[in-house]
Structure 1
């Protein structure tokens, strides 16, 4: 009888383990979305949103996997494994290989430029006012810094690639934005293209945040959206359904909305909130 009891106990334990659900989250070293070390370790926007989802789903194990940022889409497209990633750009080509949530997982301000505060004052560019990238590089003849092989949207890419006789500095290294931020502080370039949260995090971590400021661009859309993507197989379909429902819940919380603004400079937070309100109408 004791043997039967132990056998049944073992069976239920094994069954429980086999039925336990796990979501493998792909993360990568890309601050301020994932901050893997340093002063602000684990305070990244995206990794914090994953933690919010984890708290909503106590019966599901969240397993974080650190991979190179350039491998995320490739890994999600491999149907022999199961994984999900937060804050992905969604397009028709990617939808052929990856399941995406209908709900956005992150929302942020679109690409902006960073510059010295003194230059912004000299050009009379007020805090949250949109500026024209074309005017700055063509008419004002400002030197623009950009990261190699990075797209900033069709209109901005067209301005960079089609405007003749502009001063352009391109950095191809892995830490290109950090390198360019250092150059910006030294005034070796005049303006730097990137996303507001990236600009602010780098300036703050390098102790340049008192020197540098940011301005939104007329050529960029009001907001940028990211979505959760999961492997396109049976488990991925189930994971997407669950995560989509949880996104609907957490997006109404104060904590989620504070995370979206965690790495925005103070002068751009009201602009972000205003655009979020308009987007919901």
Structure 2
């Protein structure tokens, strides 16, 4: 009986180990290195390393896929999760989301000063771009580069949906960040919406003709979530992630990780936003963890 008992224990242990292995999808090939390399790299990869360190019962297999492919996989009935997801009403229909894993300095619009100069009639009193539609109306031949399948947040998604297709160049693929910025630098597109940290990472050389501007009614910081396909196992994974995040939000390690990557001028505001995160989701957790 002892050999049989030992075999049963071995099989059970193997099953538990397999059950706790989660496929985690990303659209950025650099994550294959950054997720497993210590040091300060960027808010996204640093925050996921910190989170996974606090999830000892969950094993992760990181895979790279284009954004559109990730969208499709997260609609399937098998357990799959993805990082750096922005929560939108459409995605919320078929995905379940963690609490925010990090707050990321929000998108900016990049432009060429000599081709699409931002005159006063395009800007608010705070010097934000009034809207993308207003910019395209003034420069009707301008093209804007966006990544296929990517959400830029509810406000920008609505604006982009109103832009004519002739003014849009879409790019898909696992290297979309790098390739889109390369197209912009070669002036294959006139306008680009991306994160400032991403633009800095993938831009080569210095071009004083490139400017950037924040966009009115678009938040200063974007929350990045883990999203999973809607399965029973995914729901348990999300619960474990959320419990870990509630422990991380008030920690010095979580705050300092964020502050390392933002300018001094934004640190006070970001500190308040992280404090708000803890208060909001601590209250929400009372119903989530019943």
Q: TM-score, normalised by structure 1?
A: 0.69
Q: 2:230, 2:239 → 1: CA distance?
A: 12
Corresponding residue of 1:16: 13
Alignment of 1:140-159 (within 5 A): 143=142, 145-147=144-146, 149=148, 150-153=150-153, 155-156=155-156, 159=159
1:73 lines up with 2:71 in the alignment: yes
Q: 1:214, 1:261 → 2: CA distance?
A: 22
How much has 1:244 moved relative to structure 2? 0.7
Corresponding residue of 2:279: none
Equivalent of 2:269, from 254, 259, 274?
274
Change (3 A) 1:273 1:192: farther
Q: TM-score, normalised by structure 2?
A: 0.68
Alignment of 1:52-201 (within 5 A): 52-79=50-77, 81-101=78-98, 103-115=99-111, 130-134=128-132, 137-138=136-137, 143=142, 145-147=144-146, 149=148, 150-153=150-153, 155-156=155-156, 159=159, 168=167, 170-172=169-171, 174=173, 178-182=178-182, 184-185=184-185, 191-201=191-201
Q: Is the 8 A contact 2:106 2:219 kept in 1?
A: yes
Corresponding residue of 2:284: none
How much has 1:94 moved relative to structure 2? 3.3
How much has 1:262 moved relative to structure 2? 6.4
1:35 lines up with 2:31 in the alignment: yes
Q: Give per-residue Cα distances to partners, 1:33-75, cap 9 Å, x unaligned.
A: x5346x9995464444332222112233222233333222322
How much has 1:245 moved relative to structure 2? 0.3
Q: Which runs of 5+ in 1 are unaligned?
A: none
Q: Is the 8 A contact 2:97 2:238 kept in 1?
A: yes
Q: Is the 8 A contact 2:129 2:213 kept in 1?
A: yes
Q: 1:238, 1:132 → 2: CA distance?
A: 42
Any idea what SS the aligned residue of 2:247 has?
Answer: helix
How much has 1:209 moved relative to structure 2? 7.9
Any idea what SS the aligned residue of 1:200 has?
Answer: helix
Q: Give per-residue Cα distances to partners, 1:52-103, cap 9 Å, x unaligned.
A: 2221122332222333332223223322x222222323344434433222x2
Change (3 A) 1:23 1:210: farther
Q: 2:35, 2:91 → 1: CA distance?
A: 32
1:229 lines up with 2:227 in the alignment: yes
